[in-house]
Amino acid sequence: MASTLEALDHWVTEVAAMTRPARIHWCDGTDGEYRALVQQMLESGTLIELNQQTHPGCYLHRSHPSDVARVEHLTFVCHPDEQDAGPNNHWMDPAAAHAKIDALYDGCMEGRTMYVVPYCMGPIDSPLARCGVEITDSPYVVVNMRIMTRMGAAAQARIEREGHFVKGLHSVGELDPERRFIMHFPAELTIKSYGSGYGGNALLGKKCHALRIASHQARNEGWLAEHMLIVGIENPRGETHYIAAAFPSACGKTNLAMLIPPEGYRRDGWKVWTVGDDICWMRPGADGRLYAINPEAGFFGVAPGTSDETNPNALQSVARDAIFTNVALTADSQPWWEGLPGTPAIDWQGRPFDPAHGPAAHPNSRFTVAANRCPTWSAQAEAPQGVPISAIVFGGRRPSLLPLVMEARDWTHGVLMGAAMGSETTAAATGAVGVLRRDSMAMKPFCGYHYGDYFRHWLSFDQPDAVLPKIFHVNWFRKDKDGTFLWPGYGDNLRVLEWMIQRVEGRIEGVQTPIGILPAAGELRVDGLNLDGRKLDVLLDVDHVAWRSELAAIGDYLASFGSRLPEALRIEQQRVARALDNVIEEPRREAMAR
């Protein structure tokens, strides 16, 4: 099924000449194609059939033990000018990068099938959607791309109508960590990935296209491509507010996107609608509001920690027609990971489970499933115009200092909040876990250009005719002195979202503090919680002295972006620092006056 678009046909021919596959298959995205690929992988051992009585249509894939997470140190953003990549990215000269990776591609598909995968990121008829083509030698990638994107003939037809697309070339190569690169060429709308089969490195529509390349496109075209979930909160009056929220990977995005209201809220008529759990594309509408689509069609979620207690909707979503990666197995071939009942028999590497070898499931083990399998999936996820965003939320794992929730005083302050985001690292990326790092807007691994320019782009949306969302920051992970979490989290996070919505609607006042607006006494609904006043006080405490040190650290971090840092952001950081100084100095001035 060669393309009628000459540019696409020429590119496929060019790649085939370089990689020399045994055969070429143009993917049409049909059920029959999916079933044939699954059968092929079952026969080769690439997939393992799970218990079809308990998990119909579900399969397990085990990746190489050296290939289990994103490899940020091997991920490059190759702008012609190194300054455009910024200190937030690893850079390589485009010509050198092409030469290095093309040498690896030489003959790499000999004896293999080369799959041509046309796909659309976003609803197929949405003006906000963007298309791409991934060429890969991995059938595992093909079946996952079918779940994660609108893949196949309809996407190819749109590409041929529009005449342009993002090019993605991927080969698993030899899965050698020393011969592994993920290269991005934003100016060329091109991605090249070699030596990895892991989702974030191999499913090129996901982080590579939908964030690193799309963020560059968005800057040029006047929209935002963000590492955010999209969730709709319907109140008892039948009104739905849509919220976009940014958290680093494995910090609860999927749980929040599929939140189940506490019993009292359900009784009152509150409902939660899932639009997306990971990526959000936002564009100003004619009415000045930001409208968002989820460019993905599926979930690529972290399995460990997903349970009936934490996220029953996710668990129900993966009960059928899902692909699991690097989870453990029970004796009767059901998928298992830490957090589930039962006992693992086989670990994620295929060995009899032995606690001495570590967790049964890899900490970054995953599930891939269609988004419309979720019980709370919203039909608005297919709305071509997107959904209007009422609030933007930033957050991360901070055991202290950051209060449960705070609201920015205006858009510029909100951009500072997002830019200053810090979080403990998780198993979603290689490297040490539990280390505090700045992760502005949760985009540090994904922003396709200089962070200073990215902050400037965010600030540019504050126009006279704009009706911008309010911006908030949350911290579900604050701990007591004994190391226990103070806030119950999960479904009870709706209590915080309710406070935000009341602020959006102008129903409550909040309390002004130097760092932002916090809930006033009685505004945060805590009925039914085992949460005494002391814990709530700690959750909402503002330690002005510690915050002064935090603002100084934020200032140092912002200064690392040099002359490209927007002056407005530096001024805002100084404004908050002065407000803290005034609060700290006020008691001393009063004492001197007495």
The residues carrying an active-site annotation are 251
Asked if 268 and 228 count as a contact pair (C-beta separation under 8 A), the reply is no
Token pair recorded at residue 370: 């269609």
String of DSSP letters for 516-577:
EEEPPTTTS--TT----HHHHHHHT---HHHHHHHHHHHHHHHHTTGGGS-HHHHHHHHHHH
At 289 the three-state DSSP class reads coil
Please say whether the beta carbons of 321 and 371 come within 8 A: no
Contact predicate 370/310, CB 8 Å: no
- Helix H or strand E segment including 32: helix 31-44
SS3 labels along 172-215? CCCCCHHHCEEEEEHHHCEEEEECCCCHHHHCCHHHHHHHHHHH
Task: Say if CB 248 and CB 256 are below 8 A apart.
Answer: no
Beta strands 240-246 and 59-61 are: unpaired
Say what angle helices 544-559 and 567-593 make with each other, to 10 degrees.
150
Report phi then psi at 343, rounded to 5.
Answer: -130, 130
Is residue 296 within 8 Å of residue 148, measured between CB atoms?
yes
Q: Which helix (H) or strand (E) holds 268?
A: helix 263-268
Cα separation, 214 vs 206, in Å, equals 10
Q: 532 to each of 494, 496, 527, 536, 590, how far by Cα in Å? A: 19, 17, 11, 7, 33
| Kind of pairing between the strands at 75-77 and 150-151 | unpaired
Measured CA to CA, the distance from residue 345 to residue 358 in angstroms comes to 13
What is the rounded CA–CA span in Å between residue 515 and residue 578? 11
Nearest Cα to Cα of residue 200 among 66, 366, 363: 366
> In sequence order, what DSSP letters do the residues of 359-381 get, joined into one string?
-SS-TT-EEEEEGGGSTTB-GGG
Q: Cα torsion at 213, 216, 218, 224 (round to 10°)? A: 90
* Pairs from 97-100 (Cβ < 8 Å, separation ≥ 24): 97/181, 97/183, 97/185, 97/192, 98/183, 98/185, 98/192, 100/181
Are the C-beta atoms of 38 and 143 separated by less than 8 Å? yes
- Residue 116, phi then psi, degrees to nearest 5: -105, 115
Helix, strand, coil shares of the chain, percent, nearest 5, are 35, 20, 40
